[in-house]
A and B are shown apart, each in its own frame.
Chain A
Amino acid sequence: MKAKFLVMLAVIGVHSVPVLAHHSFAAEFDADSPIELTGIVTKVEWMNPHTFFYIDVEKENGEYENWALELGSPNGLMRRGWTRNSLRIGNVVSVTGSRARDGSLLKGNARSIVLSNGVRLFNGTNQINPNLAELPQ
């Protein structure tokens, strides 16, 4: 019996994998802490449960901060017209959204993104023709 129990524990352990939490907006972000950022995209991570992109934002003193900004799931964005080329490294973007509740983090939820060519991308909703999102930047 003890042996079976140990085997069962081993099987559970083998099949356990870390899970990146899928969370509600309010659990992690503060709608009363709006952010408006302009910067250059340095990284895009198409991963579940949330897509992330990172931008370099220049501060008044000339130093840079690298912000992590959350989007919807890759599948959700794709179904709404995003492609892997909608947001590319080097794009200059202006982002509006909400800051993380943990104010020590340079992290936020992006509600809308405006590219330098005027194309506007929405988190979860892309209101433009998806083909326009692939115009050269």
Chain B
Amino acid sequence: MAGPVFSQVGHPAKGSWSGYWGPSESDRKRILLLLDWVGNEIIGTINPGPNAVEIKQTKLDVSTWALTIEADMPFRDGTYGRYVATGNLKNLGSWTNRRYSGTYRHGDESGTFLLVLN
């Protein structure tokens, strides 16, 4: 009667991710990323809610779990510019410490980001 049970948990990128991004440790912003796997591609939203930004394009290399996300994000002055984040999904087997980290470019600004699966 006993048997192993493997839960259907979906794509490793699927879920909500929280963390920070910014050009330096002293200048960083909170970010909430909501990703889903639909129709063989990753879709999602940056900061879902009243200031939501729809992700325009994603690219996933499953050989290295490198994930690139592109969106049109607002600058501090209210204008918009292309935001490109490139990073790697890590600790894919973990429910509590799955991470997505890397670097980003937003207009002239560049920096790093680190997100943890909620």
Binding site for B on A (CB under 8 A): 14-15, 40, 42-43, 54, 56, 58, 64, 66, 88-92, 116, 137
Is B9 located at the chain interface by the 8 A CB criterion? no
- Known pairs A14-B1, A14-B2. 15 more at Cβ < 8 A? A40-B32, A42-B32, A43-B16, A43-B118, A54-B118, A56-B18, A64-B18, A89-B16, A89-B34, A89-B48, A90-B34, A90-B45, A90-B47, A90-B48, A137-B49
Q: A14-B2, A42-B18 are in contact. Are A64 and B30 (CB under 8 A)?
A: yes
Number of A-B contacts (CB under 8 A): 39
Contact with A along B92-118 (1 / 0, CB 8 A): 000000000000000000000000001
Interchain CA distance A137-B34 in the complex, whole Å: 16
Q: Which of B2, B18, B45, B48 contacts A66 (CB 8 A)?
A: B18
